Structure 1
Amino acid sequence: MGQIKVTTCPIEGLYVIEPAVHGDARGYFMETYNRRDMEEVGLNLNFVQDNQSASKKGVLRGLHFQKEFPQGKLVRAIRGRVFDVAVDLRQNSKTFGQWYGVELTEENKKQFYISEGFAHGFLVLSDYAEFCYKVTDFYHPGDEGGLAWNDPEIGIQWPELVGTYPGSADASGYTLSDGTHLTLSDKDQTWETLKNTHHF
């Protein structure tokens, strides 16, 4: 053990993971995933798929989940800087409807593990970002669910974001503090609020 530092978050089921980074004049080396280390800290995970995305500044992806085949996700930024968010959708949880966010960057090399039962999304704060994540279940077309990224009942404090809630998940009228327009997919602008979406 000793290759990772795991910090539990205020919401049960969320963990910030910091791998040991071994650097010298040539660069650095680190283990981005070690099953034995994860099991020793109580995270017995079975990952079945790796995903990667690239996004420009101002892109917000989320908030996503699968309804019948929920996924645990181990996420990290390998280039750039993102603000990553999880929202608790577990009906019997004492933190139902609460959110937690962490900044993930290529410099801090932090990872964020999000258990099944959460909605997940991230906002790109750098000019460009590449984002990787391991998941505990496969992608199932037709099983997608989503939560409005700007639901006022949840009140996610997206850093650097300026705008007024328009009564929907529409991105129009929102910018980052430097004037960069917020960009969402068409689908991500149609998700419902917490009271009207799927719960676990």
Structure 2
Amino acid sequence: EWHRILFYRRLNAQIRDAYPARPAQTPHSRAAPARSRRALRYAIALAAALALAGAAVAWIGVTEPSQQVLNNAAVMALMEAENGQPEALEAGAARAPFDFGAAGLHFLGGGEVRVGPFASAQRYVYENNQGERVVLLASRAWLAGAAPQWSAHRAGPLRLLMWREHGTRWVLAGNAQTRGLMRAADLATLAAQPAREGEGS
């Protein structure tokens, strides 16, 4: 009988060694997995938010044409406007963003033009009393800083006048000898200055 008792004791010890008892869970040990699950959810939500923000910035970058792309589109739009008929422009007319009457330019019409696979711009065509046309292109520029003072760029006989204001990139294109071209750029860029001065006073 004694041998049987010793055998069962050894068997019991072997079973305990093979399957150690799990430690009793304290409130702290039960809270740890809950905290780790919450931290994981927060990390996933943060990663998703960062991914969405990155996708939004990438989309804005793709849909915003660069200055060079807009300049090239302005040159092409000017050549088309010089060879086009006023009736064709007025058929898809848009509202003029600026009144260039003081520069001797009257609005003919405009519409949307594609300037890239995902980018577009608004085109506005003006004409002076001599029948010379200028083209104003506008596109979004949310990622570019403001540059309210216009700057000029020569492209052969053409002159491109560029500025950025309120998230919009503007290019005014015309022949360098076109009457009213530079005065129109002055009118466009000086229009918002009294409002800015009033805000500061």
* TM-score above 0.5, yes or no: no
Looking at CA atoms only, which structure, 1 or 2, has the larger radius of gyration?
2
- TM-score with structure 1 setting the length: 0.24
- Bigger relative contact order (CA 8 A; separation at least 6): 1
Higher helix fraction (1 or 2)? 2
TM-score scaled to structure 2, two decimals? 0.24
